[in-house]
Structure 1
Amino acid sequence: MKKRTWHDRYPEDLPLTLEYDKCPLYQYLVDAARLYGDKKALYFMGKEMTYKAVYEEAKKTANYLQSIGIRKGDRVAIFLPNTPQSVISYYGILMAGAVAVPTNPLYTERELIFQMNDAQARAIICLDILLPRVNSARSHTTLEHVIVTGIKDYLPFPKNVIYPFVQKREYNLLVKVEAGNDTHIWKKIMEQSVPDYLESAIDPEEDIALLQYTGGTTGNPKGVMLTHYNLSTNVQMCETWLSRSEDQNRQNVVLGILPFFHVYGMTAVMNFAIKKASKIILIPKFDAGELLKVIDKQKPNLFPGAPTIYIGLLNHPDLEKYDLSSIDACISGSAPLPVEIQERFERITGGNLVEGYGLTETSPVTHANFMYAERINGSIGVPWPDTDAKIVQMGENGLEEVPVGEIGEIAVKGPQIMKGYWNNEAETASVLKDGWLLTGDLGYVDERGFFYVVDRKKDMIIAGGFNVYPREIEEILYEHEAVQEAVVAGVPDPYRGETVKAYIVLKEGATLTEEELNAYTREYLASYKVPRIYEFRDELPKTAVGKILRRKLIDEEKQKQEEAASV
C-alpha cells in the first residue's frame, strides 16, 4: 500500500502493517484453551465458564454436527441471543468445517424462511422459546435438523429452577421439546457427545467461515461471504488498535452487550476476546438499569457499543448510583456517535470513547479514531493497519479520487474485505471494483487524513435542489438539552421533491414544543436544512444493534401520504 497522509498521524507504537495469522478462525479458541485453560472465558447471569470448558463443549458440538451429516461448507444457522450456547455453537460449527449463519432472534417467520432458503442452511441451533417459529417455518425451508437449547441450561442454581416460571411470566410461553430424528436436545448432546471431531482442511483465505446477512434496507438481505482470513485479520487489527487498553495486572473483561448475530459484536467482542483470552460478560438483551448493575459489579474495562446504548445509560435516572470507572476503552460503531454523547460518557467513566466505522462487508471495521493519540470528535478517524481508503466520484473515465475536503463516496480496500455476496454476482460486481469496496457512504477526508461520514448515499435528502445531509442536522438536535434521541429523514413533498422531517424522543421529564425546536435549529442551520416537520415519539424503531431505522420511518410516511391521497 502506498504512503498515505494519515500514516504520519500514527503514533510510534502503532504499526502501519501487521504479520497476520493464516489459520482457521477457531484456532483462537484452541490456543486460549491450551495456554489459559483455567481462565474465565464467559460470565452469564451468575455462571462462569473457563476456556477449557468452552473448548470442550465446542468440540462436542462439532462432533455432533458431523454425526448428523454436516460436512465442510454446509451452512448451520445460529438463532440465539448472547448466551454461552451462542459462543460454543459458533466455534463448534467452524470446527466441523461448516459455515456459521448468524440469525437475528427477532426475525419473523417470513424473514427466517427467506434467510434459511437463501443460505440453504441444513441445520439450525435455536432457543426453546423460538422453536414454535422455527417449526412453523421449517417445512418451507432447506432445514433438516434443529438443535434446541434454553436459557436455563447455563444458569446456576437456583436460577435454573426459577427461570421457567420467569419465562412463563415474560413470554407467556413454555415449550416442551421432544427429541426425534430431526430434533435434538442441546443438554443431551453436551452430556452424551464425545469432545472430539474430524478436523477439516481449511484454506483461511478461500474458505468461508461466516455467511452474514446485511440489513436489507434495499430489497432482500444479501449474504456477505466472510472468510476465516477476513475475520481473523480484522480481529488482529482490533487487537493492535486497543493494545494500550490492556490491564497487565488482570484479565481483560469485555462487555458483551452487542449481539453476536451482528458482525460488529462478533468481531469486536466475541472473536477479539477469545483471541486475547479475555472474559466476556454475556448480556442477552439491553436493559439500561440491569447493564449499569453488571458494569458496577463485574468491572469491564472494554466496552464496544453503539450510540443508543451509551445514550440509554446516560439518561437512566439511577446513573449516579453506579461505579463505571472500570471502563477504559470504548469503540462506538453501527451509527454516527453524537459528539455531546461522547463527551458526557467520557466525563462519567473517565475512559476513552472513540468513534469507528465499518460495514458487514468489511468484517466489519475499517476506520477508527486513535484511542490514546490524536483524535477528532465527529470524525470516524483514520484507516486501520493495512487498510486503504479514498473518496471517489464517477467521472468520464470511471471512478476518480476527489480532492481533499470534497464530498464523494467512501471506498475501502484491505484484507478484511468480503469475498462477495452469496449467489449474487451482479451485486458483488456493483460494489467491488479492482479490489476496492464501494461503501455507499458519502464522506470526505481532511488534509490530515481523517475521514468523515456525511451520510449514507441513499439517505441524502434533495430538498428544492439542495443536498441536505441528515447527520449534520441530527448533531445539532442532539446538542439540545431536552433531546434524548433524534433522527432526520427526507419525506415526499409535492413542491420541494423531498422535505426535511425530524423525529424526536425527549428526555424523561423534559418538555419542548415544535416552535421552540424550530427557533433553536434556525440559529445553527441554513434555512433549507431546517426541518419543516417535527414529530415527537416515545421511542424510535431500531435494529438489534441499536441503529435507528430511518428507512422504516420514511416508509411509514409514504404509507400515510398514500392513505391520505386515497380518501
Structure 2
Amino acid sequence: MTSYADRPWLARYEAGQPGDITPDYATGLDIFRAAVAAQPQMDAIRYFDQSISFTELDAASTSFAAALLEHDLQRGDRVGLYLQNDPAFLIALIGTWKAGCAAVAINPMNKQRELSYLLGDSGAVALVCLDDLYDQVAKEVISAPDSAVRLVVTCSALDHQSRSDERVLGGTVKHTPEGTLDLDTLVAQFADRSVADPGLTPDDLAVLTYTSGTTGQPKGAINTHANLAFNAQTYRDWIHLKAGDPVIAIAPLFHITGLVAGVMTALLLPAPLVLFHRFEPGVALDAIREHQPVFTVAAITAFLALSNAPGATPEDFASLRTLYSGGAPIAPAMADRLEKIFGAYIHNVYGLTETTSPSHAVPLGVRAPVDPVSGALSVGVPVYNTVVRVIDDEGNDVPPGEVGEFATSGPQVVAGYWQKPEATASSLPNGELRTGDVGFMNEDGWYFVVDRKKDMINASGYKVWPREVEDVLYTHPAVREAAVVGVPDEYRGETVRAFVSLTDGQTVTPEELVQFAKEQMAAYKYPREVRILEELPKTVTGKILRRELRDTNG
C-alpha cells in the first residue's frame, strides 16, 4: 500500500494518517443496523421542519422491504430510485437492501430516452419515483411493451414536512398516479410485517451508479456493499467526524458523492442527514442556519452559489467547520475567496463513480499546494489502502513530475461495469482502474489533475459525454454533422458547446437547436450554445477534430 512515512505533508497533519484501515462493517445494511442499535431516537433525517428518527426509518424501510417481497421481487433484483434529496430515497434504499435487492440510482433530470435506457440496461423490475416525474417522464417509459418494470411506487416532495417551501416545491401537489402505489400508504399497509435477514455479503451489488465511457453509452458501475462501507469509513476517519455531527446533503443523493459522503457517512457516524429536496442557494442557507450541520461535500459551484445567496454572512456558516469539494476543479484564487466567506478552508477531494467517491483527498487542516507551472490546486494524496500509479500509454510508471494517466487500486474500486465485460476488461485490467484522468505526482507525494484523457465534459460536477449530445443533435433533420466540446465557463467550470453543419436545403437557427436538445436531455447536458459552420474540421480520414473546435476563440 501507499507509504506516507516520507511525505512532508504528514508532519503538518496532526493526526498522522496511517496507510491502512480495516472497515468496521461489511455491508451498508450492517452500518444501518448498528446506527439503529446505537442511537434509536436520534434524528436520522431532518427535512425542512420535520424529522425521522433511526427507529422510524428502520420501521419504514422494513415495511417497504416487505412490500417488495409481497410483489415477488427476488434476491438481486434491481429497484430504480428516480428521486431528489427526499426522505423517500433513504426509505427505499435501505428497504431495497432489506429485501436482498440492489438499487439503481437515477438522475431525476433524466428524460424519457435516458430513463428508458437506464431501466432497460439495469433490468430494473421496480421503480420508486416522485409523482410528478412519473407523470412527466416515467409513465410513457413504463408503459412501453419492452419495459421490465412491474411495480411503480410514487411519493411526493411534500411528504414528511409541512413547510412546502415555494422556492423548491412551488406548484407541487401530492397525488398518486393511476397504476402506481403510494410509498407512505405501502409503509402503513405493511407496518406489521417483518422480513428475514437477506444475508447480504460484502461483494453483493449495493447500488448501480451510471457513468459514461469511451463509447459514450452509459455504463453501470457495480458499487458493492464493501465499496460503500470502505469509503464511508474513509470520510469518517479522514475527516475526524464524530457521532451526532449533522451532515448536510448538498450533493444529489443519486450521485456517488451524495450517496457516500451524505447517506453512507451519516449512517456510519451515526448522525442526522439534512435534506431539502434539491439545491437552491436560499433554501440551502436556511437549512444550514436551522440545522447547524458540521460537514458537507459539494461542487465548488454550489459553494459559490451559497456564498452569493441573499443575506448570507460568515456567521451563517459557522457550524460548517469541515468542508470538502469535489466533482469540478477549484481555482486557487476561488478557494482563497471562499475561505474568507465560509470561515473554513475548502479541502479538495477527488474520485470517480468507479472509485465509489474518494480515491484522493487533502488531509483535514492541511492546505493543498499549488503547482507553480500549471497553477493547478492539488487534489490531495491517496486515501487509506489506496495505490495510485501515474502511467504512460504502455502502463509503465512515470517518475514524479511527469504527466501520465492515473491508475487506481484499492477497496473502493468497483469490480466492473454491469453486463459489460469488454468495458470492464479495458478500464479495469487486473482490477486496477484506468481513470482516463491525466496528471502527475510531485516530489512531495501530492497529486495534480491537469487534463482529461477522454473528451468528457465536466459541467458543475456532472459528467457529459459529447457523443450522447451529438446523437441527439443528429436526430434533427437539418443537422448534417455535429461535434460537441466542453468550453470554460466561469460558473459551471465547463459548459457544453455544439458545432453543426447543415443538410443541403435545410435551415435552422442555433436557438432552435438548443431548444431541440433541451427537450430531450437532462438540464446539465444540452448545449448552451450552438454554432453553425459550413464544414466541421476533419482529419484526412474524415474524423472530426474536436480539439480544433475546442480551441476556437470566443
Correspondences of 1:52-71 after superposition (within 5 Å):
52-71=55-74
1:145 and 2:154 are equivalent in the alignment: no
1:358 and 2:330 are equivalent in the alignment: no
The TM-score, its normalising length taken from structure 1, stands at: 0.77
**Aligned equivalent of 1:201, options 199, 206, 209:** 199
Give 1:307 shift: 0.7
Correspondences of 1:331-346 after superposition (within 5 Å):
331-346=324-339
Amino acid of the residue matched to residue 400 of structure 1?
N
What is the rounded CA distance, in whole Å, between the counterparts of 2:314 and 2:342 in structure 1? 13
The TM-score, its normalising length taken from structure 2, stands at: 0.79
Give 1:213 shift: 0.5
Amino acid of the residue matched to residue 81 of structure 1?
Q
Residue 454 of structure 2 aligns to a residue whose secondary structure is helix
**Aligned equivalent of 1:213, options 207, 210, 227:** 210
Give 1:58 shift: 0.9
Give 1:142 shift: 1.2
Residue 152 of structure 1 aligns to a residue whose secondary structure is coil
Amino acid of the residue matched to residue 219 of structure 2?
K
Mean Cα displacement is larger for which, 26-35 or 208-217?
Answer: 208-217
> Partner of 1:435 in structure 2?
431
Deviations along 1:109-145, whole A, 9 cap, x unmatched?
A: 1111000000010000111111122111112321111
Deviations along 1:85-104, whole A, 9 cap, x unmatched?
A: 11111111111110100111
> Partner of 1:170 in structure 2?
171
What is the rounded CA distance, in whole Å, between the counterparts of 1:282 and 1:316 in structure 2? 18
Deviations along 1:167-216, whole A, 9 cap, x unmatched?
A: 6x636xx5742565xx3221211111035212212221x21111110156
1:262 and 2:231 are equivalent in the alignment: no
> Partner of 2:533 in structure 1?
561
Amino acid of the residue matched to residue 331 of structure 2?
P
Correspondences of 1:237-256 after superposition (within 5 Å):
237-243=234-240, 245-246=241-242, 251-256=244-249
Q: 1:2 to 1:450 in 2, by over 3 A?
A: closer
Q: 1:308 to 1:215 in 2, by over 3 A?
A: farther
What is the rounded CA distance, in whole Å, between the counterparts of 1:327 and 1:209 in structure 2? 30
Correspondences of 1:471-510 after superposition (within 5 Å):
502-504=488-490
Could you list the runs of 4 or more consecutive aligned residues of structure 1 that deviate by over 3 angstroms after TM superposition?
2-13, 215-218, 497-506, 546-549, 562-565
Q: 1:381 to 1:56 in 2, by over 3 A?
A: same
Deviations along 1:38-60, whole A, 9 cap, x unmatched?
A: 11111111011111111111111
Amino acid of the residue matched to residue 27 of structure 1?
D
> Partner of 2:323 in structure 1?
330
Amino acid of the residue matched to residue 197 of structure 1?
V
Amino acid of the residue matched to residue 560 of structure 1?
I
Q: 1:266 to 1:219 in 2, by over 3 A?
A: same
1:370 and 2:363 are equivalent in the alignment: yes
Mean Cα displacement is larger for which, 68-77 or 19-28?
Answer: 19-28
1:222 and 2:222 are equivalent in the alignment: no
What is the rounded CA distance, in whole Å, between the counterparts of 2:271 and 2:486 in structure 1? 45
Residue 90 of structure 1 aligns to a residue whose secondary structure is helix
> Partner of 1:26 in structure 2?
29
Asked if structure 2 preserves the Cα contact closer than 8 Å seen for 1:259 and 1:284, the reply is no
What is the rounded CA distance, in whole Å, between the counterparts of 2:213 and 2:83 in structure 1? 20
Asked if structure 2 preserves the Cα contact closer than 8 Å seen for 1:409 and 1:439, the reply is yes
Correspondences of 1:56-95 after superposition (within 5 Å):
56-95=59-98
What is the rounded CA distance, in whole Å, between the counterparts of 1:89 and 1:444 in structure 2? 41
Amino acid of the residue matched to residue 201 of structure 1?
G
Q: 1:389 to 1:154 in 2, by over 3 A?
A: same
Mean Cα displacement is larger for which, 193-202 or 47-56?
Answer: 193-202
Asked if structure 1 preserves the Cα contact closer than 8 Å seen for 2:220 and 2:418, the reply is yes
What is the rounded CA distance, in whole Å, between the counterparts of 1:25 and 1:417 in structure 2? 16
Residue 254 of structure 2 aligns to a residue whose secondary structure is coil
1:104 and 2:107 are equivalent in the alignment: yes
Give 1:455 shift: 1.6
Amino acid of the residue matched to residue 384 of structure 1?
V
Give 1:324 shift: 1.2
What is the rounded CA distance, in whole Å, between the counterparts of 2:57 and 2:19 in structure 1? 34
Deviations along 1:198-254, whole A, 9 cap, x unmatched?
A: 2212221x21111110156852211001111011111111111011x54x8xx2111
Asked if structure 1 preserves the Cα contact closer than 8 Å seen for 2:347 and 2:367, the reply is no
Amino acid of the residue matched to residue 235 of structure 2?
C
> Partner of 2:138 in structure 1?
134
Q: 1:150 to 1:548 in 2, by over 3 A?
A: closer
What is the rounded CA distance, in whole Å, between the counterparts of 2:399 and 2:267 in structure 1? 41
1:388 and 2:387 are equivalent in the alignment: yes
Q: 1:401 to 1:217 in 2, by over 3 A?
A: closer
Asked if structure 2 preserves the Cα contact closer than 8 Å seen for 1:5 and 1:449, the reply is no
Deviations along 1:283-328, whole A, 9 cap, x unmatched?
A: 2112112222221222111121111101112233422386211110
Residue 445 of structure 2 aligns to a residue whose secondary structure is coil
Mean Cα displacement is larger for which, 7-16 or 251-260?
Answer: 7-16
Asked if structure 1 preserves the Cα contact closer than 8 Å seen for 2:321 and 2:344, the reply is yes
Q: 1:351 to 1:136 in 2, by over 3 A?
A: same
1:3 and 2:7 are equivalent in the alignment: no
**Aligned equivalent of 2:415, options 415, 419, 426:** 419
Q: 1:366 to 1:198 in 2, by over 3 A?
A: same
Amino acid of the residue matched to residue 390 of structure 2?
I
Give 1:435 shift: 2.5
> Partner of 1:446 in structure 2?
442
Deviations along 1:369-425, whole A, 9 cap, x unmatched?
A: 111246325100100010010110123xxx101111011101110011001011111
What is the rounded CA distance, in whole Å, between the counterparts of 2:488 and 2:16 in structure 1? 44
Asked if structure 2 preserves the Cα contact closer than 8 Å seen for 1:392 and 1:408, the reply is yes
Deviations along 1:513-539, whole A, 9 cap, x unmatched?
A: xxxxxxxxxxxxxxxxxxxxxxxxxxx
What is the rounded CA distance, in whole Å, between the counterparts of 1:459 and 1:429 in structure 2? 20
Q: 1:52 to 1:503 in 2, by over 3 A?
A: closer
State how many pairs are aligned: 476
Q: 1:499 to 1:108 in 2, by over 3 A?
A: closer
What is the rounded CA distance, in whole Å, between the counterparts of 2:233 and 2:58 in structure 1? 21
Asked if structure 1 preserves the Cα contact closer than 8 Å seen for 2:2 and 2:382, the reply is no
Asked if structure 1 preserves the Cα contact closer than 8 Å seen for 2:156 and 2:174, the reply is no
Residue 236 of structure 1 aligns to a residue whose secondary structure is helix
Asked if structure 1 preserves the Cα contact closer than 8 Å seen for 2:214 and 2:454, the reply is no
Asked if structure 2 preserves the Cα contact closer than 8 Å seen for 1:6 and 1:382, the reply is no
What is the rounded CA distance, in whole Å, between the counterparts of 1:500 and 1:270 in structure 2? 31
What is the rounded CA distance, in whole Å, between the counterparts of 2:34 and 2:228 in structure 1? 17
Q: 1:402 to 1:564 in 2, by over 3 A?
A: closer
Deviations along 1:420-453, whole A, 9 cap, x unmatched?
A: 0111111111111223111000100000100000
RMSD (Å) for aligned C-alpha atoms: 3.2
Structure 2: 5+ residue stretches without partners: 371-376, 460-465, 467-482, 493-516, 538-554
What is the rounded CA distance, in whole Å, between the counterparts of 2:77 and 2:486 in structure 1? 47
What is the rounded CA distance, in whole Å, between the counterparts of 2:354 and 2:344 in structure 1? 30
1:310 and 2:316 are equivalent in the alignment: no
Give the structure with the higher percent helix: 1
> Partner of 1:278 in structure 2?
271
What is the rounded CA distance, in whole Å, between the counterparts of 2:32 and 2:154 in structure 1? 23
What is the rounded CA distance, in whole Å, between the counterparts of 2:138 and 2:411 in structure 1? 36
**Aligned equivalent of 2:282, options 280, 289, 306:** 289
> Partner of 1:155 in structure 2?
161
Deviations along 1:147-167, whole A, 9 cap, x unmatched?
A: 1111222113xx47x98x996
Amino acid of the residue matched to residue 388 of structure 1?
V
What is the rounded CA distance, in whole Å, between the counterparts of 1:267 and 1:503 in structure 2? 28
